[in-house]
Amino acid sequence: MLIKIFKYDFLESGRKLLPGILAMLLLSLAQGIVLAYNLVKKNAVNGSLQIIFGILIVVVTAFIIGIIIAAMIIQITQYNSTIYGARGHLTNVLPVNTSSMLGGKLLSASLWVLISIMVSGIAIAIIFGCLFLNLGAHDQEGARQIFSQLLKQAREYGFFQLFAQAVLGTVIGIVELVITLYLCVSLGQLVSKMKVLVGIIAFFVISFIESKIDSLLQVQNSFDKYHGLVEKHQDVSVVINNGWSGIIVSLAFAVIFFFITRWLLSRTLNLE
Amino acid sequence: MPWTFENGIPIYRQLTRRIMVLIASGSYKPGDKLPSVRDLAIEAGVNPNTMQRAYSELEQSGVIYTERTSGRYVTDDLKKLTALRIDLSTEEISRLYSELEKLGLSDDEIRKAVIDYKRN
Amino acid sequence: MNRLSCTNLTKRYGRLTALNGITLELQPGKIIGLLGPNGSGKTTFIKLFNGLLQPTAGELLIDGMPIGPDTKAEVAYLPDNDFLPEYMTIKGFLDYYEDFFKDFDRKRAEKLLEPLGLPLSQKIKTCSKGTKEKIRLIVTLSRRAKVYFLDEPIAGVDPAAREYILKTLVENYAEDAVVILSTHLISDVEPILDDVLFIKNGNIVLHEETDSIRERTGKSVDELFREEFRC
C-alpha cells in the first residue's frame, strides 16, 4: 500500500513540476549556447540582444533556484490538500494505515526535492561546461590543471569519503526537512484559524530547537569544520566522524517527527 | 417513474393491493410469470425487502405461487381469480357507498344514481 | 455478527456535544435512513465510522473490528462534497479506485457510466457539476461493500436526478450490505427505507421499521418526522 501511495503522489507532483524542470533545462541550454558561442561579445553593438541576454541570465538563475523552492512548496500544498482538503474525503478512507500513508508521501516528496536539486545541478553543469568550451586553449589548459590539483588534494585529504558522506547527509537532510514541513502543516491544522501562520511559526520554533540541540551535541556543520581543519592541515577523519554524528542526529529528528506526525494524523484528524 | 404511495398505510400492504389489481385487471394474466422481486422493486422505487414482503403476502393468499427454480407466477386457478376480483370490487363498492352515505344519500338513492350514471 | 455497532458513542467539540452517547446495532441486508435536521449529528456519526473523526468517548465497530484500514476496505462512503482528483482522467480515476479498493466492480461502473456519454479520456476537471456527482455516486455504488454511507445524496439536486440516484442505489448496492442514507428530505427516500433512525441534537430518538411506523401511527415517516422536529 505504501508503494501505491508513493506512486500516485509521485505522479501527481510530477505533473506539476516537470514542465518547470523542462523549462529550466531548456533555458539553461540556451544560456549555455550563448556562452559557448560567445554571443554576448559578438553582438556587443546590438542593444536589444544584449537586453535579451541580460534577461536570460536573470531568468535562468531564477529558475535554477526557483525549481527547488517550487518543489518544496508543491510538496507542502499537496500534503495539505490531499489530506485536509476536499480530497481528504477520498485519501483518508483509503484502506491504508497511517504509517504507509505518511511514508509513501514522504518518500515521494523527498524524491522530488532531491530530483529538483539534481536537475538544478545539471543545469549549472551545463552552463559551466559551456563556459569552459568558450575558454581559449591556454585558459582551458589552466582550468584543467587547477581541476587535477583539486582532485589530488581531495584524494590526500579523504575528500571523496567526505563527499559520499555529504551526499548521504543531503538525502537524509531532505527527508528530515520534508517530514518537518509535514509536521508543521499538521500542527497548523490543529487550529481553526490562521493555520498557515501557526505552521510557519511552528517551523521556526522547531528549527530553533533543533539548532540548540545540535550545538548541545556539538554537531557542527561539516563544511565549516573541514575548512578550519584544512587550514591547519589536520586529519580529515575527525571531520568525517563528526559528519556521521550529524547524520545520525538528523535521522533521529526525522524519525521522531515521523511518529509525531503520524500520531497527529491518526488522532486529531477532523475534516471540515 | 416510481409508484406513489398513501401515507398512513404500510407500503408493503399497498404493494400487495397494487399487484392484486394488476392481476385482477388482466395486466398479469393467469399463468404469467411475474417480474423478480428486485426488478419490480426497482420499477416501483421501493426497497426490495418490502417488495419481498408483498410477494409473500400474495403467495399466502394463493393469488401467486412460486416455482422453485424459475420464479413467481400468477395462479391458474380461475376460481381464486374470480374471488379476487369480487374481493377487490367489494372494497371499492364499500368505499363508494360510505362516501355517498356521507353525502346524505339513502340506499335507494345510491342504487338509482349508479344506474343513471351508466345510462348517461 | 452485527454489521455495525457502537456503544456510548460521544463526540464533543469543546462545549458543543455533537453526539451524545449513542448505542446502536445494525444488521446487514437493510437500507436505513438516518433522518434529522441539519446539525443533528448525522454527518458526525458517518465520519466517525469512516475514521475521519475520532470519538471523544465510546466504542465503535464495523463487523466487530475497530475503525482502521480493514474496515475502510469494506466501507463505501459518498460524502456531501467533491473528492474527485481534478487532474485525473475518468479512466485514470477508475484505475486509482480499482488499485485501492479490492471490492470495486469496474465493469459495473463502466456500464453505469455509459449513458453519460463521456469518453474515458476526459479530464475530470472539464466535467460539469452534475456529471461529477454522478461519477461519485457510480464509483461508490459499484463497490461490493459491506457498509454504504450516503451523506445527503439528494440534497440540492433536481427531481430527475433524485430519481436517478435512488434507482441507481436500489439497483446496484450489494444486497447483504447495510446502507445508511442520511437526509433531511424524507418523502423521496421513504419508499426505499427498511428502517429509520431519527436523530435529534446528537441523540437517537427513534429506531423502527418504516412499515411498523406507518402501521402504528397511521402516518408516513415524513409526516411523523415533521411533527417530531417541529420547532
Give the pLDDT score at A220: 54
Give the pLDDT score at A211: 86
Chains B and A touch (3+ CB pairs under 8 A): no
Asked if the C-beta of B43 comes within 8 angstroms of chain C's C-beta atoms, the answer is no
pLDDT band per the 50, 70, 90 thresholds, residue A141: confident
Asked if the C-beta of B44 comes within 8 angstroms of chain C's C-beta atoms, the answer is yes
Q: Which of C27, C31, C189, C192 to mutate to test the interface with B (most CBs of B within 10 A)?
A: C192
Chain B residues touching residue C177 (CB < 8 angstroms)? none
Nearest to C163 among B2, B3, B8 (CB): B2
Judged against a pLDDT cut of 80, whether residue A217 lies above it is answered with no
CB C188 within 8 A of CB C170: no
Q: Which residue of A has its CA nearest to C93?
A: A8
Q: What is the mean pLDDT of residues A4-23?
A: 95
Distance CA B3, CA C110 (A): 29
pLDDT tens-digit series, residues C39-89: 889 999 999 999 999 999 999 999 999 999 999 999 999 998 899 999 999
The set of residues, in sequence order, having a beta carbon less than 8 Å from that of C135 and lying 6+ positions away, is C84, C90, C93, C113, C116, C124, C127
pLDDT tens-digit series, residues A100-117: 999 999 999 999 999 999
Q: Cβ–Cβ of B8/C163 closer than 8 Å?
A: no
Phi, psi of C182 (to 5 degrees): -100, 140
pTM > 0.90: no
Chain C residues touching residue B13 (CB < 8 angstroms)? 211
The set of residues, in sequence order, having a beta carbon less than 8 Å from that of B70 and lying 6+ positions away, is B33
Q: Cβ–Cβ of B8/C175 closer than 8 Å?
A: no
The set of residues, in sequence order, having a beta carbon less than 8 Å from that of B54 and lying 6+ positions away, is B12, B13, B15, B16, B19
Asked if the C-beta of B83 comes within 8 angstroms of chain C's C-beta atoms, the answer is no
Q: Cβ–Cβ of C170/B5 closer than 8 Å?
A: no
The set of residues, in sequence order, having a beta carbon less than 8 Å from that of C13 and lying 6+ positions away, is none
Range from A184-193, A225-234, B14-23 carrying the lowest mean pLDDT: A225-234
Q: Cβ–Cβ of C191/B11 closer than 8 Å?
A: yes
Judged against a pLDDT cut of 60, whether residue A234 lies above it is answered with no
Q: Cβ–Cβ of C215/B50 closer than 8 Å?
A: no
DSSP secondary structure of A120-185: HHHHHHHHHHHHHHHS-HHHHHHHHHHHHHHHHHHHHTTHHHHHHHHHHHHHHHHHHHHHHHHHHH
Chain A residues touching residue C82 (CB < 8 angstroms)? 86
Instruction: Report the DSSP pairing between strands C195-200 and C30-35.
Output: parallel
Judged against a pLDDT cut of 80, whether residue A38 lies above it is answered with no
DSSP secondary structure of A223-260: HHHHHHHHHTT--THHHHHHHHHHHHHHHHHHHHHHHH
Instruction: Report the DSSP pairing between strands C178-183 and C16-26.
Output: unpaired
Q: What ipTM did this prediction achieve? A: 0.92
Give the pLDDT score at C65: 95
Nearest to B47 among C193, C212, C217 (CB): C193
pLDDT tens-digit series, residues C106-129: 999 999 999 998 898 999 999 998
Neighbours of chain B (3+ CB pairs under 8 A): C
